[in-house]
Structure 1
């Protein structure tokens, strides 16, 4: 399973927090209850976007992000803080664009062109203008 793209995963089991999905290698990821549809059954294959949540856990969602790994899109800056800028990419968790990945200072409520990238060292997705 790969972060930042849509993965086709099989429903392995249902638990109180949601459905656990499994890839062909046996790796599991949680699809939280708010994304589990009533018609889902064990062994169903579902298309999900895989990313890390605000607690740095790998999770799946049936929501469609505005940006996939390697894509470029104009996105709106939601907030700027000491870590960088956070942009709305269509998921509950906003996407971080670190200062080191910004070509210039970003302003809140403005749109800029970003790409979604994956950092092997930190195992995280991030936005970049580079």
Structure 2
């Protein structure tokens, strides 16, 4: 009789009822606990049920009738529930015990680890001590999910999930199943493995993969910076001590943008008749 180990899906017989669940038997000397939290309905002695085996919080083999879609021979998406710098990230695979994705299998900087709510594509593996862990899908497995993108998608927006981080950017899979890459130059802020993003398609390659950008289109950037300026001026009764000849470092400190982007936003606001400049200050035009 094969040894019962974590990660197995097997059919066992109900041996007897216990105050905290049922003991299941493989017909030999091996018994595992099916905790009452994992029982739906009443079970009878000698009834045979299919279960998934895992290690409980004491490291003992336990059973659940919830069969996860993440298995040794099957990859699926699992949601991060907690991050522990000492160990890694715990994932929900659909059973009552979260599964560890070890820090050894993740980026060096924990800021790039999945946060609660992020999703990773993974299967199962056992370490040398027969402990159950999550195993990240490699490029080959992710590409089995993918389909080539049509050229007409250029400049469209897509939603994607980061499945691999590399020194010069991030590999993603879109909701439609397109493989994409975001170069460092097109990334905004710190990104994470498993993070969901909205990206802009900047190129569709011959093999159907995508080059993507997290940065807004130029007109979207101008609109966003204009709103930032208007909000600041409204907080100061419609005036601010900044204009198109202000020092770049002063603009960066106040608005977090370059002088070039600041001047584009000011120019747009003046073109729309919302703002004018005088003696080193900018003023909102008041409605008459």
- Give the TM-score, by structure 2 length: 0.42
The C-alpha deviation readout for 1:78-111, integer Å capped at 9, x for no partner, is: 2211210111111121110011122573221221
**C-alpha distance in 1 between matches for 2:35 and 2:25:** 14
**Secondary structure of 2:37's match?**
helix
The C-alpha deviation readout for 1:50-77, integer Å capped at 9, x for no partner, is: 1011221211111222311232112222
Q: State the aligned residue count.
A: 129
Equivalent residues of 2:12, 2:51 under 8 A apart: yes
- Structure 2 residue 143 is the aligned partner of structure 1 residue 114: no
Instruction: Name 1:32's counterpart in structure 2.
Output: 35
Equivalent residues of 2:5, 2:61 under 8 A apart: no
- Structure 2 residue 9 is the aligned partner of structure 1 residue 6: yes
Equivalent residues of 1:70, 1:117 under 8 A apart: no
- Structure 2 residue 156 is the aligned partner of structure 1 residue 126: no
Instruction: Name 2:24's counterpart in structure 1.
Output: 21
Equivalent residues of 1:12, 1:42 under 8 A apart: yes
Per-residue deviation, 1:11: 0.9
Per-residue deviation, 1:3: 1.9
Q: Relative to total residues, which structure has the larger strand share, 1 or 2?
A: 1
Rg bigger for which structure?
A: 2
**C-alpha distance in 2 between matches for 1:17 and 1:39:** 13
Equivalent residues of 2:5, 2:130 under 8 A apart: no
TM alignment of 1:1-130, pairs within 5 A:
1-82=4-85, 83-102=87-106, 105-108=112-115, 109-119=117-127, 121-129=128-136
> Relative to 1, partners in 2 of residues 1:86 and 1:34: Cα closer, same or farther, differing over 3 Å?
closer
Equivalent residues of 1:102, 1:128 under 8 A apart: no
Per-residue deviation, 1:38: 4.1
**C-alpha distance in 2 between matches for 1:28 and 1:118:** 21
**C-alpha distance in 2 between matches for 1:85 and 1:76:** 10
- Give the TM-score, by structure 1 length: 0.87
| Worse-superposed segment, 79-88 or 31-40 | 31-40
**C-alpha distance in 1 between matches for 2:88 and 2:134:** 10
> Relative to 1, partners in 2 of residues 1:81 and 1:38: Cα closer, same or farther, differing over 3 Å?
closer
Per-residue deviation, 1:46: 0.7
Per-residue deviation, 1:2: 3.2
